[in-house]
Amino acid sequence: MNNAQTLSIVIPLYNEQENVDALVKRVHEGLAGCAMQWELICVDDGSRDATWTRLLGAVEHFGPHVKPLRLSRNFGQTAAMQAGIDVARGEFIATLDGDLQNDPADIPRMIKELIERDLDLLQGWRKARKDALVLRKIPSRIANKLIAKVTGVALNDYGCSLKVYRAAMIKKIRLFGEMHRFIPVWAATVTSPSRIGETVVGHQARVAGESKYGISRTFRVLLDLLAMYFFLRYRARPGHFFGSIGLALGAIGSFIMMYLMVVKFGMGESIGERPLLLVGILCLIASAQFLTTGVLSELLARTFFESSGRPAYSLADGGEITTEWHQA
């Protein structure tokens, strides 16, 4: 690594007053031998305790390379992480949690590995995770396997916040809601999955403060995963998603109505009180709704891409070669 390379470390914090001092100290200890110029961006996500005061104290103690950022209220981990990424100035960006469970000493090694493997994103893998089995480990394992299966981006630990990125890549992505769990998947929309890697990192048990997560996050992951799947597969062609469902329901409804027509006019039987008649009508109505929703979603998608000036594709770094006109 040469001294021209720069690193920004982004840490979102929410009610972590017990951990701030030790966290900032451990970051400095972990990067003591790092040849890169670096800055530490700590984002206070609307904490209600003394987190902000402790961060201001860290600036006085360690120096101006510690940059605290305070959000007006609690927006959530994803928004706090995005805020830190937005102000980051480094060529490389590293993110980690503020609960002291991630080890900042892993960052220099991860940056070196990112460069050597020519990756855009290197995801941490808490192989020896120090968390509760039922409330944290089992739901996490289920979610990781499900995400890998649905998205096609095969990683062992999506939930680990310790990641390093090339800033040029991560700044192409906008994070919303609670999509920080799916950053590798979002990255796959702007870079090749082959440039997304994983490496084993250290993990410690929480010693201070309270965890902000519980078993309920498993259900939120499922909802986010559905949205992620739709975005990955149908962002530029949402009409295909809704249209496929509409055509399938239309076919079922049409088959049912044709069968009832044969029963009514061919066999002379009454169909007015048959539940199948109601099912057929509902299928046809739902089919029409899905088809029209598909048309409207196509209009919205085209309006979005045209008005924002964003293409439906992303060029790779070095993927455009300057050429000259052929002279006759």
Same domain, 124 and 253: no
What distance in Å separates the CA atoms of residue 189 and residue 229, rounded to the nearest whole number? Answer: 12
CA–CA separation, 29 and 311 (whole Å): 43
Cβ atoms of 44 and 52 closer than 8 Å = yes
- In this structure, are 172 and 90 located in the same domain? yes
Residue 20 three-state SS: helix
Taking only the tens place, the pLDDT of each residue in 71-85 is 999 988 888 999 999
Q: Are residues 21 and 39 in the same domain?
A: yes
Asked if the structure places residue 324 within a domain, the reply is no
Same domain, 190 and 300: no
Domain termination residue (choose one: 192, 216, 234):
234
> Residue 83: its pLDDT value, please?
92
Least confident among 59-68, 198-207, 270-279 = 198-207
User: Which residues constitute the domain of residue 296?
Assistant: 238-308
At which of 234, 255, 290 does a domain end?
234
**230 and 263 both lie in a single domain:** no
Which one, of 100, 94, 118, lies nearest residue 36 by Cα? 94
List Cβ neighbours of 240 (8 Å cut-off, separation of 6 or more). Answer: 234, 294
Q: Are residues 179 and 248 in the same domain?
A: no
pLDDT of residue 53: 93
Is residue 315 in a domain? no
Q: Is 52 left (phi over 0), alpha (psi -120 to 50) or beta?
A: alpha
> Is residue 320 one of the residues assigned to a domain?
no
Is 49 within the bounds of a domain? yes
**Inside any domain, residue 314:** no
Q: Quick one: 250 and 274 in the same domain?
A: yes
Listed range (50-59, 284-293, 318-327) with the worst mean pLDDT = 318-327
Same domain? For 215 and 300 the reply is no
Query: Which pLDDT score is estimated for 235?
Result: 75
- Please provide the average confidence, as pLDDT, over all residues in the chain: 84
274: confidence class by pLDDT, cuts 50, 70, 90? confident
Q: Which of 125, 152, 157 is nearest to 139 (CA)?
A: 157
Q: How far apart (Å, rounded) are the C-alpha atoms in residues 129 and 106?
A: 15
| Gap between the Cα atoms of 290 and 242, Å rounded | 5
How many domains would you assign to the chain? 2
In a domain, 63, yes or no: yes
Specify the DSSP class assigned to residue 77.
H
**Residue 326 forms part of a structural domain:** no
Q: Residue 316: inside a domain, yes or no?
A: no
What is the pLDDT, as a whole number, of residue 1? Answer: 45
Stated pTM of the model:
0.73
Q: What is the C-alpha to C-alpha distance for residues 188 and 120, in angstroms, rounded to an integer?
A: 10
Asked if 210 and 245 sit in the same domain, the reply is: no
Q: Which residue type is seen at 5?
A: Q
Residues 173, 63 share a domain? yes
Same domain? For 117 and 206 the reply is: yes
* Residue listed under structure tokens 């965890």: 211
| pLDDT tens, position by position, 302-314 | 887 677 666 666 6
pLDDT at 31 over 90: yes
Domain endpoint, select from 234, 256, 275 = 234
What average pLDDT score do residues 224-235 get?
76
Question: What DSSP element (H or E) covers 37?
Answer: strand 37-44
Q: Are residues 198 and 249 in the same domain?
A: no
